[in-house]
Chain A
Amino acid sequence: MKPTSTDQLLEDIPSRDKPGLATSVRTYFLRHAQVFFYSLGQLWQAPFSMLMTAAVIGIALALPTGMHVLLNNAQQISGGWDGAAKVSLYLKQKVSEQRAQKLANKIRKLAQVAEVEYISSKKGLEEFRQRTGYDTALKALDDNPIPATLVVTPNLRFNNAEQIEALAVQLGKYKQVDLVQLDSEWVQRLFAIMDIVSQGVVILGIMLSIGVLLVVGNTIRLAIQNRRDEIVIVKLIGGTDAFIRRPFLYTGFWYGFFGGIIALILVFLSLFLMSGPIENLAGLYQSQFDLNKMDFGTIITILVLSIGLGLGGSWIAVGRHLRDIEPR
């Protein structure tokens, strides 16, 4: 062994100098940054297993995210329809055109009504013929079976479901009116269904999030067990629980981060694949509908959520298992 002088030892040993506060703070953040990237490097050592875990997280998060985006789109479309709710008044056959016009004028004066369109039975028949092409069948009939119709558009201020309902009841009281039909009924049913679906998406999202927590927790638990010896050594030389916890928490962070990225990629891909057929469908309805992609807020939310789940899962695992590992 190379002899070392006692002087050199003396010079080095007795003082246990403490770094200053500023240095300590700087060192603290530097250390965090190092562990942050060190844990990424550790994961990169086994990219396949890391990506497998991240993909599980990604798929689990992509499902509710995708459904949420589609639901948003559906709500947007049907929101447009809601504004167009109309009340159709089918008049009795014996009501003359004059009296029908009179009634239309009367209804026009109501505060709840924005517009009334009179469709005579002749015009109604013409439209029906054009739209359906039952030309010969209609010719076989003696009378025009189509009643004269008043199409009432409610004032925008009275455009909620209850008020339109009340208006319909009121209009149904005129003796010339045979039948009142609310065009918005099916829209309301659609809304009710979408409410159920949106609740379903929330429940699905919660369940899959718990699944993500468990997946990350289990992965971190295995990582802790793999590094059991190292943890014991670090505890023996004065490592605090926070010091030991840090790399595992950052590992959870990275799982969440990559899981979120994968989820976003999957949702983007699915929307891209679906946008063609959806535009096709919209074209059939003469609609200028563009499938809304994810907005920036949704992207950030998904990333924050998945990172949060990664951190949370590893926090649970670390809290449960680090305490059990003590030097013996």
Chain B
Amino acid sequence: MIKFLQASKRYPGGHDALLNVNFEMQRGEMTFLTGHSGAGKSTLLKLIALIERTSRGQVIINGENTSKIKTRRIPYFRRNIGIIFQDHQLLFDRTVYDNVALPLIIAGQPPREIARRTRAALDKVSLLNREKSYPITLSGGEQQRVGIARAVVNKPPLLLADEPTGNLDPDLSWEIMQVFEQFRQVGVTVMVASHDLDMIKRLGHRILVLKDGQLVGDSARPEQGSLPP
């Protein structure tokens, strides 16, 4: 599903955000990406979603080499990826329902389908009773769940989450992780960037460790490096 081949990203000015990263993720796998801030977690996710392009090397998503995707086609490519952000990135002038429905509207789904799927997604994150609320009236955890509902409403085969629990207390964080776990169980590939090592170790999935832009640890391949204590 995800394959990094000697992928590097150098930002203008010469800073290497990622350097020669190699790893592979199978369909339906759930992986945590960790490392100190500035280690390149966000850059790695941005390369997958084509928010940034690689400077060298290749990133292959679902069999497609991302460097070959023309800018004009990026929107269609992104519709196959659900992205969850630390700061939620919700539209505050629209209701919860409208926020979650947006990817379906963009994809040109018929109205009845939009209503059905939006409610199904909201139900999955237990926010069906708040569909008419505005995001500003929700708690941080609820806003994050709206973000998750929006990411999954289009049934993408790949979910990316950048520090989804960064602002949440441990209980809420755990709940959010359980939602991801549910999607993994039905065949969705999930990649979560998080620096909350304690929690991700307890979840027992594969862990990739980045340091200064390099992959220094992979729990699936211990010979590549060790996990931090």
Contact = CB atoms under 8 A, between A and B. Distances in A.
A complexed with B = yes
Contact of B185 (A6, A24, A233, A237): A6
Contacts of A236: 49, 51, 78, 83, 89
B12 interface: no
B10 interface: no
A106 interface: no
A238 B186 contact: no
Interface string A1-42: 110101001101111100100011011101100000000000
Contact of B155 (A16, A24, A233, A235): A16
Contacts of A27: 108-111
Report the contact-size class of chain B (Cβ under 8 Å from the partner): 35 or more
A239 B155 contact: no
A327 interface: yes
Given A233-B91, A238-B79, A238-B107, A15 B51 contact: no
Nearest to A30: B111
Given A28-B108, A233-B91, A237-B102, A1 B186 contact: no
A1 B178 contact: yes
**Interface residues of chain A: helix, strand, loop or mixed (majority):** helix
Contact of A328 (B51, B75, B91): B51
A19 B12 CA distance: 43
A234 B113 CA distance: 20
Interface in B42-65: 49, 51
A8 to B, nearest CB: 8
B109 A234 contact: no
A15 B107 CA distance: 15
Interface in A268-318: none
Interface string B174-188: 010011001101111
Given A1-B175, A6-B185, A327-B51, A237 B110 contact: no
Of all A-B residue pairs in the complex, the 7 with the closest CB atoms, nearest first, are: A238-B79, A238-B78, A2-B126, A240-B75, A13-B186, A9-B186, A239-B106
Given A6-B185, A240-B76, 6 more contacts: A6-B186, A26-B110, A28-B108, A233-B90, A234-B106, A236-B78
Interface of A: 1-2, 4, 6, 9-10, 12-16, 19, 23-24, 26-28, 30-31, 229-230, 232-241, 243, 326-328
Interface of B: 49, 51, 75-79, 83, 89-91, 102-103, 105-111, 113, 117, 120, 123-126, 150, 152, 154-155, 157, 175, 178-179, 182-183, 185-188
